[in-house]
A = this chain, B = another copy of it.
């Protein structure tokens, strides 16, 4: 088949690299000619609001997917008139709106931090009274990696917060004193079949994912079951096709859903080497109507994001079980420009190899 991808970053690149061996051709639409995905696919260089480019993409492919949440709704609607868009628009719309997302969790019985809608100064005051402090005020839309958020520690933080986020619709969330951040990635095929990857454990630095460990260390089975139950319920509710990620907080054996990403996800990058079938391949299989591949883990693995600048690559490649993924982006502070997955036979060996990787300390933001 011919696959169109909206977005030309590293996720599009890794999707394209997974699509070629399956016999597909890939056309990427993105704003810059030298973006990561452009080197491994046919390129349409244009902004996402360029109707003629959108039409050209639709005319050249059999199915369209996307690599980021904030695709303009108008572009998706325009494409959907001509070819299927997968995952479905409802997932994109829900994932792009923190309030709709949290409300969906609640309606499925998936536990979340306390939350309330904030549409103005008055509703912020009401929400603070209901949820208490500390709490986090987030824009409903367009926030990621710690952007578009304000931590409200004391009453003094409340009055300026709403205006400082641009007086746009927000959500106030109770600050959860969680033990660890987890996530789960799963895929659903056109036939409704579902696979879920092992629950992973994520560590962030400066609001950007730094390390993912697969499997997560010492998570109670009850919590793992809740994570699997949550993603299965979400995949079904959304009549989903493709890969979905759910970010979670672990508190004892409680699991609180934080947010979904209706796409392949940074916390699933380790699946390229660390699972029988990668998240990228399973996304491609799903959107093209093929059977899903096994999500079984291959040994234990850990992913380290390369942020800002590249480490000394020969030293990375000298680490046993290290697998390098460079995205072809220019170095810039705070920018994800690659990742390294270390694979090992068990958790202990994985953590030793991860320590070797982290000791290089060139990945600093």
Contacts and interface: CB of A to CB of B under 8 A. Distances in A.
A321 B294 contact: yes
A339 B127 CA distance: 59
A149 B22 CA distance: 35
Taking the full assembly, how many copies of this chain does it contain?
Answer: 2
A321 B276 CA distance: 7
A277 B313 CA distance: 16
Contact of A293 (B23, B294, B317): B317
B326 A313 contact: no
A318 B291 contact: yes
A324 B291 contact: no
Interface string A1-34: 0000000000001000100111101000000000
A325 B17 contact: no
A313 B39 CA distance: 27
A308 interface: no
Interface string A295-338: 00011000000000010011001101111111010000000001
Between A317, A321, A322, A326, the greatest number of chain B beta carbons within 10 A of the residue's beta carbon is seen for A317
Interface string A43-65: 00000000000000000000000
B324 A22 contact: yes
Contact of A290 (B23, B298, B310, B314): B314
B25 A17 contact: no
Given A290-B317, A313-B290, A20 B17 contact: yes
A321 B291 CA distance: 12
Contacts of A289: 314
Contacts of A39: 20, 25
Between A20, A320, A325, A328, the greatest number of chain B beta carbons within 10 A of the residue's beta carbon is seen for A20
Given A285-B317, A290-B313, A328 B17 contact: no
A291 B276 contact: no
Contact of A324 (B21, B298, B318, B324): B21
Given A22-B313, A23-B326, A294-B321, 17 more contacts: A17-B21, A20-B40, A20-B328, A21-B325, A21-B326, A22-B326, A23-B310, A23-B313, A23-B324, A23-B338, A25-B39, A276-B321, A276-B343, A277-B323, A289-B314, A298-B298, A298-B299
10 contacts: A17-B21, A17-B40, A20-B39, A21-B325, A23-B313, A276-B321, A276-B343, A285-B317, A291-B318, A293-B322
